[in-house]
Structure 1
């Protein structure tokens, strides 16, 4: 079903409320009131709150993986280190551009649930495969320098850095207000990860 202004209003309202109150703390009526639409619109477009959640998360990850794939397609002629740095910038930029949904999804992913297992099988497995392959490529010429276990721990650290701002949002949200400061946060945070990559590959 194609996107419509009403569907977008419902999605925006749901993203905000899921972020603020959690999935179980948000009712369909809350979403309808926030979006200024009839309850029947949510049923028509999404078949209820669970359908809305599934649509929001699927749409988020499909766009996210499309960003990853297009970034890699544009990065054929650069070094593995430059490639992973470029990808990290695009990942953090995407997550920050969808801040409320990013925070909600990563909070949900920190808990073991049917939702988490479904995401792991569909989208997260692909993300892990792509980032894992890039990381292996990064250390291809450094096999003797880094043991396999070291590389696994370093990859775990990288994955942690990609999700930390959205799991620990309360740690920094008071200092980042307005579009300019959010852009500055992305720039500074990406630079921090890039510096870490330079250090571990030196």
Structure 2
């Protein structure tokens, strides 16, 4: 993940990965059929664990109001992505470059994430706003969930050690929660 995160998929060689992992190049070829197979395995592992967290969070918070359930989901998403920050940075960077290979691998996962998040978001917005405004608000929310992983240097300056990471996640989600509260409370259907 460090190699992919630092150099991107195209800039990382199998030799780089083997050296960093202290393994033989042939071991990567044997177990993963090369760099592409290793990346597919890593992305699958990342997203499968991610969806376990999302679904666990949704089940655990079923009794909460729709808005509070959404807030808990947002916290779980940001926390998971920060716990796996190197790979989160890599995926978001590769998607911003419109890497066809990465996009092909993650398209199903992105659709599932979009479905779960939009379902929870629309439940929280419950009849508020015209459909176009809800769509724009949802785009803004998705942007806030991606932003820390698109601007690696800015977020890295905010964190030193796990205590700062925990604080960053808590403070960042508090700001999103304030935006949600404002959106639900102050804005009206037009």
Give the TM bin, normalised by the shorter chain. over 0.9
1:85 is matched with which residue? Answer: 71
Query: By how many angstroms is 1:115 displaced?
Result: 2.4
Q: What does the per-residue CA deviation read over 1:65-93, in whole Å, with 9 as the maximum and x for residues that have no partner?
A: 11111111111111001100000010000
Are 2:138 and 1:151 aligned?
A: no
Are 2:4 and 1:18 aligned?
A: yes
Structure-2 separation of matches of 1:56 and 1:32: 15
Structure-2 separation of matches of 1:34 and 1:153: 43
- CA root-mean-square deviation: 1.1
Q: Which region of structure 1 is more displaced relative to structure 2, 24-33 or 95-104?
A: 24-33
Query: By how many angstroms is 1:35 displaced?
Result: 1.0
Match of 1:42 among 24, 28, 38: 28
Counting only pairs closer than 5 Å after superposition, residues 26-105 of structure 1 correspond to structure 2 as: 26-105=12-91
CA contact (8 A) 2:158 2:168 kept: no
Query: By how many angstroms is 1:180 displaced?
Result: 1.2
CA contact (8 A) 2:40 2:105 kept: no
- Paired residue total: 184
Which residues of structure 2 form unaligned runs of 5+?
Answer: 186-190
Structure-1 separation of matches of 2:145 and 2:158: 19
Match of 2:95 among 99, 109, 117: 109
Structure-2 separation of matches of 1:199 and 1:149: 18
1:180 is matched with which residue? Answer: 163
Which residues of structure 1 form unaligned runs of 5+?
Answer: 1-14
Structure-1 separation of matches of 2:57 and 2:19: 38
Match of 1:119 among 106, 131, 138: 106
**TM-score normalised by L of structure 1:** 0.87
Pick closer, same or farther for the CA change 1:171–1:19 going to 2, 3 Å: same
Query: By how many angstroms is 1:175 displaced?
Result: 3.1
- Runs (4 or more) in structure 1 with deviation over 2 Å come to none
The higher-RCO structure (CA 8 Å, 6+ apart) is: 2
Query: By how many angstroms is 1:139 displaced?
Result: 1.7
Structure-1 separation of matches of 2:55 and 2:173: 19
